[in-house]
A and B are shown apart, each in its own frame.
Chain A
Amino acid sequence: MNKVLMSGNFIICEAAIRAGCRFYGGYPITPQNELTEYMAEHMRKAEGGIFIQSESEIAAINMIAGASAAGLRAMTSSSSPGISLKQEGISSMAACELPGVVVNIMRGGPGLGNIRPSQGDYFQATRGGGHGDYRTIVLAPATCQELADLTMAAFDLADKYRNPVMILADGMMGQMMEPVTFKKPKPRIYNKKFMLQGAGTGKSKFIHGLILDPIDMEEHNWKLARKYEVISKKEPRHEEYNINNAKMIIVAYGTAARIAKGAIKRLQNNGMNIGLFRPVTLWPFPEQQLRSLSAKVKNYLVFEMSTGQMLEDVRLALQGYADIRFHGRPGGAVPTPAELANVIARVYERTVK
């Protein structure tokens, strides 16, 4: 398979089209415009591919709900403020059990914030984001190769669980260029009975989230909860790096994990044994996997490009079995590996005996 050099935003699109995505709707917002622009050109070249520049992010999410209901693999993308606007639609897709892929190339916030890379949308992404009792599967790539692989996986997971899946990256990942290999996508498995294509001569069906009877609504909530339970058991993914003999473990995802890896390599040369635990799925959070490390390693440092959001999941996972420190750089400030190495070294010296 050939390696090609492409930037992150383009890789997501190319992987999506190869995975059979045939509907894209989106509204311009920096730092993800390249994604919409690539789709404008290449989606319409793909056989049966539909591209609509929507009038808003709200329209875009409802378009992919429509396309998804009609049976197509569908995707939309945006950046933080636009993702906030999509939340009613994401909630509605979760309620109606419609698959679909939503890409968030995060920028600094809250509010309009700025257009620099940030990880401030972790809570929004992993806690459902919109209203009601639901979850979205959240994938956090950290390399260009993973952008390709996880985008393809996102469509498979969305179909498998009939649920929206979010790819959570940031402006840095979107702009980054690395060689990438597009693997052969798996054939789509999705039951036609969930598609709305006209009743033909058969019974008509309807897709709806409105369930006025509280007992029926409760049953639907529990049904969804059971599905989320299965996802929590079967789908957590993570990467461990340099864990053997580690005296301290950095927990970081996405861009922050890349920086942490660079910092860890530097510190190794100074004789500090530091490992990295990188959640690849943010929801489901690889909770058991992290907890099992606490039998051996008692010192953790969470590093995020936010004021501390994943930190809460790390605390829940470690349940007081270990010492947890935090370092954050919110608002679009991205530290270099050297800067982060200094921070880690200080914490290491203070906490690791």
Chain B
Amino acid sequence: MAKIVYQRPKSLKEAIFHYCPGCGHSIVHRIIAEVIDELGIRGITIGVPPAGCAVLAYNYFDVDMIEAPHGRGPAMASAIKRSLPDRVVFSYQGDGDLAAIGIAESFHAANRGENITIIFINNAVYGMTGGQMAPTTMLEQKTTTSPLGRNNKLDGYPVKVSEIFSQLQGVTYLERCMVNSPANVNKTKKAIKKAFQCQINGHGFSLIEILSPCPTNWKMNAVNSCKWIDEVMSKVFPPGVFKDNIPVTAKTAEVAK
């Protein structure tokens, strides 16, 4: 019998992604679904998709989901988790959603140490609304609302969510990853799994920031988008583990498994 090496994760519905070719959202959806399958938590997972390109995430994930108004996912997720403490609750957010309109909800859910996981897609633009400047847009980066490039004097600076949030005492695990190469996708998947595991073990708030290509609004092809993450984006947003307060005993237990 042939060995199956690749198949659709059970936690993904049989629907075709509406995302543009080369978009990071599809990759991240897939690896979240793989993690949910591997942890065997499909039946107890509740996801909160945002307003953003991922607004239709509930058409893809085969887990219970509730749409949040733009930016409010972490408030909703906090309440769901408190109401159902033995469920696994994650909020999925873009950079506009998390770092602009919903910065307060995200910041305070983190500060309260809510035992939830935020998957944060940093693609340096507002994808859904047509490529406007996001809080994470690079200096000099051209968008539809920074046509001459982001000007620090007039438009401010890219917001470094991981650096800022890692300062909050309520945060247990925080890592910044990228999905621009197979190796980085694997790393991102590991980080997501660790974050979910952190939540399952009751260790508290986790956030995984993911540098994610938006070829359409970057006006690049998929390959150049991946390169741009390496050459430009990751210089401003360096990947790495920003915080790991998961108790040591829990960590060794995991390794032992």
Residues on A close to B: CB < 8 A? 22-23, 25, 50, 52, 54-56, 58-60, 62-67, 69-72, 74, 88-89, 92, 96, 196-201, 204-210
Contact = CB atoms under 8 A, between A and B. Distances in A.
A62 B75 contact: yes
13 contacts: A55-B108, A56-B104, A59-B72, A60-B75, A62-B75, A66-B79, A69-B80, A196-B64, A198-B84, A204-B42, A204-B63, A207-B65, A210-B56
Interface centre among B45, B63, B79, B112 (most CB of A within 10 A): B79
A198 B45 contact: yes
Contact of B80 (A58, A96, A196, A205): A196
Contacts of B62: 199, 204
Given A66-B79, A66-B80, A67-B79, A210 B64 contact: no
B12 to A, nearest CB: 11
B67 A66 contact: no
Contacts of B42: 199, 204
Contacts of B75: 25, 54, 58-60, 62-63, 66
A25 B83 contact: no
Contacts of A62: 68-69, 72, 75-76, 79, 105
A54 to B, nearest CB: 7
Nearest to A202: B43
Interface size class, chain B: 20 to 34
B44 interface: yes
Contacts of B105: 55, 58-59, 62
Interface string B155-191: 0000000000000000000000000000000000000
Contacts of A205: 64-65
A52 B79 CA distance: 9
B55 interface: yes
A99 to B, nearest CB: 14
B28 interface: no
Given A52-B79, A89-B72, A197-B84, A210 B55 contact: yes
B61 to A, nearest CB: 7
A50 B80 CA distance: 11
A63 B79 contact: yes
Given A23-B83, A88-B69, A198-B43, A63 B104 contact: no
A49 to B, nearest CB: 10
Interface of B: 42-46, 48, 55-56, 58, 61-69, 72, 75-80, 82-84, 87, 104-105, 107-108, 112
Chain A facing B: main interface SS: mixed
Contacts of B79: 23, 25, 50, 52, 62-67, 70, 74
The 4 closest A-B pairs by CB, nearest first: A66-B79, A206-B58, A66-B76, A70-B83
Nearest to A55: B108
A70 B63 CA distance: 14
B177 to A, nearest CB: 26
B69 A52 contact: no
Nearest to A58: B72
B252 to A, nearest CB: 30
A71 B66 CA distance: 13
A181 to B, nearest CB: 30
A196 B69 contact: no
B80 A70 contact: yes
Contact of A209 (B46, B64, B67, B104): B67
A66 B15 CA distance: 26
A92 B46 contact: no
Contact of A198 (B44, B48, B61): B44
B83 A59 contact: no
B35 to A, nearest CB: 16
Contacts of B108: 54-55, 59
Contacts of A60: 75
Contacts of B84: 70-71, 197-198
B50 to A, nearest CB: 11
A199 B43 contact: yes
A88 B58 CA distance: 21
Interface centre among A63, A64, A71, A96 (most CB of B within 10 A): A63
